[in-house]
Every structure is written in structure tokens, then in C-alpha cells.
Copies of this chain bind each other. A is one copy, B any other.
Amino acid sequence: MILRIDRLQTELPPPSDPDPAGAAAVQELMGGKFGEMSTLMNYTFQSFNYRYRQGTRPFYDLIANIAAEEYGHIELVAATINTMLTGAGGAGDSTAPDDALSGVKDEAYKQHYLFGGKGALPADSHGKPWNGSYVHSSGDLVEDLTHNYFLETGARSGKLRVYEMCSHPAARALTGYLLVRGGVHQVAYARALENLTGADMSKLFPSPRIPTAKIPECQPHIERGEHLKLYRFSPNDFREIVAVFNGQHPETGEALTVIDEAPEGFPPVDLPPQTDVFAPDYAPEEISEIAQKLRKAAGLPDKVTGVVANDGDGLVDKVKEKLS
């Protein structure tokens, strides 16, 4: 089971200039073979299928716990894509059902508009849906850890390349963060293999051979030591990861540490409606009104209980105003 916390693992900027082609590139980090859907689902299935947990608990705890962190990664990638698509396609003053999407007719990634609602799709940068053949759950612990080490290597490669392709602030905030955290997982699986077999994999780092430290957007995270920490994403479980995630970081020699609770996180930006794709509606103020009535009837306070990063922006009022 999970408990869901409505916060992001890192802070993302609010929408600025839309970047449809960049959003298409970021899709590779969502639904590509080495995207976050893959890391999430690989570790999730491996943990579900893990046999003999009590006898080999630290390894189970490690995989299950990293799986939990990955959920937050697909959430971040989705938020980034939504941010980059906000405002895309606009044809000046035209509104639906006019030619309000004519501005993105030349984009290759048409399903962002025709099938989705300027949101993330579980698909790669060409629109090919993520599929379950990307999941490797052999049951064999050494084999699965070897896979996971490789998967994180490929994922790091993908993140670096998206970084190089996309300079949109949201894409950069995303990849800066994911490179650091993905790096931790890469180390974690290498450490698990080393602890389990006695191999020495430290010389394989970094792979690809660009030190994360060279990337400006990684700096704030490195300065906070995020490249060394494994958070425990559970109220009470997965306490035995300390038996595996330990020793030195293969690149820096610093001590790897386990943090006994999840990071606090950041409230997400509440993104504005996109009426040209009817998200959440052609006339969002109408469903907002209905929502307010339902809230009142249920005895909820006037102030919305949810926490978002841009409360002060008065998005609700702005939308009502603009759309009225």
C-alpha cells in the first residue's frame, strides 16, 4: 500500500514560454525504455515478486524503497511536461472551437493536443506507448540487481541528453535533480552487488563518464548532499537498507548515508486551464462554481484545503475574470 503526499520531490519553476518540442523530448524520460516509468515499474515488480524476504531483508528493503522514490520521479516528469506545454498552440485571441490549436499543427508530437490535454502521456519522445516488456523481474537477485545497475546507467545517459537538448527552465530543473537522484540509485545497486558478491564496481563510475558535478543545475542538490543520501520512503518499513547502502561514494569517496524519513518536498504549481483542449473544461469557471457549491454543502472551509506553490497568484480569480 501507499500513502500519497501531494508535494513534489524538487521545486519546479512556473510556466514561462511554452516549449512544445522540448516537451516532446522530455517524454523520453517518461515513457522511453529508460524513462521513469521503467525505473518505477522495474523496482515495483521486483519488490512485489521478491521471495524469501525475511531471509534476505536488506536487499528487499532496498529495491522496495527505491521503487517508492521513483513514483515521485514520474510525477516530476509529468509536471515538467505540463509546465512546458502550458500556453502551447495558442493562436492569439482565438478560443475553442476556433483555430486555437493551429499554432501547434507543425509539431510532430500531435497527441499532446489531439489525444491528451497538453499533459504527459505514458509514451516516449516519438509517442510510442510505454510497455511492460521494459520490465525485468527475473526473480534472481544478482541478475535483477545487475539489470538495475544497467537501467540506471542508461537512464543517466538519457537524462544527460535531454539536458543537452532542452534549455527550458523546467526541463533543466528536472534533469538537474534527476541526475543527482538517479546517480544515487546507480550507486545503490552497485553497492548491493558489491556487498552481495564481493565485486568491485566503483571504477565504472561515472557512466556515462561526465561527472554530475560539471552540471550547474545539479549544484544546489550536490551542495545539500543529495548525491549521498538514500531517503526511507515509508512510515515504518524498509529499515534494513542501511545494511546495503553504505560505504563510500565511488566518485567522491564521501560517506553514503541513509535518511530515516522522506524529504519534505515542495508544493506543486497549480497550472492554469487550457480551454483550447478543454482542460479541465471549455468553461472552467462553470465547474469551479459547481465545485464551490459542493464544497460548501460538504462543510468544507471557504479556503481551499490543498496546498499549491502559487496560491498567492490568485489563479482562481484570474481564470474567472479572464473567462467571464
Contacts and interface: CB of A to CB of B under 8 A. Distances in A.
Interface residues of A, number: 177
Given A75-B1, A200-B200, A281-B140, A111 B96 contact: no
Interface in A70-113: 71-72, 74-75, 78-79, 82, 89, 96-102, 104-106, 108-111, 113
Interface in A150-192: 150, 153-154, 157-158, 160-167
A125 interface: yes
Contacts of A3: 2-3, 5, 68, 233-235, 262
A305 B240 CA distance: 7
Contact of A31 (B120, B132, B233): B132
Contacts of A123: 132
B21 A106 contact: yes
B150 A195 contact: no
A241 B253 CA distance: 34
A117 to B, nearest CB: 2
Contacts of A56: 280, 284, 287-288, 291
A193 to B, nearest CB: 7
Given A2-B3, A280-B52, A298-B246, A166 B105 contact: yes
Interface string A2-25: 111111110000000000011011
Contact of A120 (B45, B162, B290, B307): B45
A216 to B, nearest CB: 9
B119 A49 contact: yes
Which are the 4 A-B pairs with shortest beta-carbon distances?
A117-B139, A49-B119, A139-B279, A122-B132
Interface in A211-240: 214-215, 233-240
